[in-house]
Amino acid sequence: MSEYKPPFHMTDNMTVLVGEISEQVGRITVLQQGTIGPHLRRENRIKTIHSSLAIEHNSLSLEQVTAILDGKRVLGNPNEIKEVQNAYEAYEMMLRVNPLSIDDLLKAHRLMMNGLIRENGTFRSKGVGVFDGEVLMHMAPPAELVPEHVHNLFDWYQKSRMHPLIKSAIFHYEFEFIHPFADGNGRMGRMWHSILLGQWKELFFWLPIEELIRSRQKEYYNALGIADKEADSACFVELMLKIIRDSLQQMTVVGSKNDQDSDQDSDQDNTFVNKLLEALGDHTLSAAELMERLDLSHRPTFRKNYLNPALEKHLIERTIPDKPRSKNQKYKKIRRP
């Protein structure tokens, strides 16, 4: 078994930042009464997806990303739209993955890069470098060493007794250093960092850290470069702790609006359900027919925002209730006596 230890040294500043972050986490937990409202979760998830993809040069606006995740048709580059839909699918599995499972990492990458690259869900088979224009910024380890490096990293994380705030940031840097995939390393590294933090405190599943990374993108890449040059990830860890602290400060401001957010979310749910009922009318229609009438193109969003809430409220019913996934399944309104 490997005894690998990432090159890193602890600083006094990190200790201070960990204390500040822990204090903020406690404050938010009290404000949120242990939960984060559905509206705020959705809003932060959209910001996360938009920001993480924007870092990778996706040009879609926040409004366009929101429309796509609402299932609406959007004019734009098909690959960029696909990136948004894939990221939604990958982030939706965050609560279900084992952050210490390499198999789950590969499954998440398969969702994130499905239809975008050939090697989705597998480690890269060739060498890869990170360039700034024509200048090589980082040459990743040879492809044949990737599985071993990833295994060592996961094994180290599981055994390490460091605070999760520290070791998750080290993991983030090491992941980017290894660059295990042909593409999608940045978005996967950022997402996995959030998953590791979410294992510690659930609110990190919904904290849009990527939004602040995007606003400090040059600083983020500079820290990665310095860590490479010094063979020590301390500067990158400090930056990530500052970004997490600042993200939590922003969340504290909106935390007191949690009740209002819940009311808005309930109103939004009702709006989606009412639109579905209006589209259904007195007809018996399939999911595809309903999506066409609603001008929606993203099936997971349609099911989550429209179909499932209507079924849960017992406003519609399946024509084949004992086979929910039947290809002949259709839906109709429940008639009240």
Q: How far apart are CA 274 and CA 313, in angstroms?
A: 11
Are residues 239 and 296 located together in one domain of the fold? no
Please state which of the ranges 100-104, 204-208, 301-305, 324-328 shows the lowest mean pLDDT: 301-305
Are residues 273 and 168 located together in one domain of the fold? no
Given a contact cutoff of 8 angstroms between Cβ atoms, the answer to whether 183 and 117 are in contact is: yes
Give the CA diameter of the chain: 74
**pLDDT confidence tier of residue 303, bands split at 50, 70 and 90:** confident
Structural domain contains residue 6: no
Structural domain contains residue 3: no
Structural domains in the chain (count): 2
Residue that is last in its domain, among 255, 280, 305: 255
pLDDT computed for residue 89 by the predictor: 94
Average pLDDT, the chain: 89
β-partners of residue 296 are 72
- Residue 278: both structure tokens together: 């209006």
Contacts of 175 (CB under 8 A, 6+ apart): 153, 185, 188, 189, 192
Given a contact cutoff of 8 angstroms between Cβ atoms, the answer to whether 236 and 227 are in contact is: yes
| Choice between 205 and 38, residue whose per-residue pLDDT is larger | 205
Does pLDDT of 243 surpass 50? yes
Are residues 48 and 150 located together in one domain of the fold? yes
Residue 74 structural domain: 12-255
Contacts of 209 (CB under 8 A, 6+ apart): 48, 190, 193, 194, 243, 244, 247
pLDDT computed for residue 312 by the predictor: 86
Residue that is last in its domain, among 199, 233, 255: 255
Hey, what long-range contacts does 11-14 have (CB within 8 A, 24 or more apart)? 11/234, 11/238, 13/238, 14/166, 14/234, 14/237, 14/238, 14/241
Structural domain contains residue 2: no
Please state which of the ranges 63-67, 122-126, 209-213, 265-269 shows the lowest mean pLDDT: 265-269
CATH of the domain at 74: 1.10.3290.10
| 193-203: average pLDDT | 94
pLDDT computed for residue 255 by the predictor: 47
Given a contact cutoff of 8 angstroms between Cβ atoms, the answer to whether 262 and 38 are in contact is: yes
Does pLDDT of 259 surpass 80? no
Structural domain contains residue 45: yes
| 151-177: average pLDDT | 97
Are residues 140 and 58 located together in one domain of the fold? yes
Are residues 188 and 283 located together in one domain of the fold? no
pLDDT computed for residue 123 by the predictor: 97
Are residues 105 and 244 located together in one domain of the fold? yes
Does pLDDT of 256 surpass 60? no
**pLDDT confidence tier of residue 268, bands split at 50, 70 and 90:** low
Dump pLDDT digits (tens) for 101-148. 999 999 999 999 999 999 999 999 998 877 666 776 778 899 999 999
Are residues 292 and 175 located together in one domain of the fold? no
**pLDDT confidence tier of residue 258, bands split at 50, 70 and 90:** very low
Could you tell me how many residues make up the chain?
A: 337
Report the SS3 class of residue 285: strand
Structural domain contains residue 66: yes
Report the SS3 class of residue 131: strand
| 305-310: average pLDDT | 88
pLDDT computed for residue 297 by the predictor: 75
State what percent of residues in the chain have pLDDT above 70.
91
Q: How far apart are CA 191 and CA 211, in angstroms?
A: 12
Q: How far apart are CA 279 and CA 269, in angstroms?
A: 16
| 69-89: average pLDDT | 93
Are residues 107 and 177 located together in one domain of the fold? yes
Are residues 196 and 309 located together in one domain of the fold? no
Does pLDDT of 185 surpass 70? yes
Structural domain contains residue 1: no
Structural domain contains residue 228: yes
Question: What residue spans of the chain are helical by DSSP H?
Answer: 12-31, 38-55, 62-69, 78-92, 102-113, 146-159, 164-178, 185-200, 209-215, 217-230, 234-255, 258-280, 287-294, 299-302, 308-312
Contacts of 292 (CB under 8 A, 6+ apart): none
Does pLDDT of 253 surpass 80? no
Does pLDDT of 251 surpass 80? no
Given a contact cutoff of 8 angstroms between Cβ atoms, the answer to whether 275 and 199 are in contact is: no
Measured in whole angstroms, the distance separating CA 194 from the mean position of its chain's CA atoms is: 8
Contacts of 264 (CB under 8 A, 6+ apart): 39
- Residue 215: both structure tokens together: 């606003």
φ, ψ for residue 132 (rounded to 5)? Answer: -115, 95
Q: How far apart are CA 123 and CA 113, in angstroms?
A: 12
Are residues 297 and 148 located together in one domain of the fold? no
Are residues 97 and 147 located together in one domain of the fold? yes
Are residues 290 and 226 located together in one domain of the fold? no
Check residue 296 and report its DSSP letter.
B
Structural domain contains residue 92: yes
Does pLDDT of 282 surpass 70? yes
| 70-83: average pLDDT | 92
pLDDT computed for residue 222 by the predictor: 92
Residue that is last in its domain, among 255, 283, 315: 255
Give me the DSSP letters along 158-186: HH--S-HHHHHHHHHHHHHHH--SSS-HH
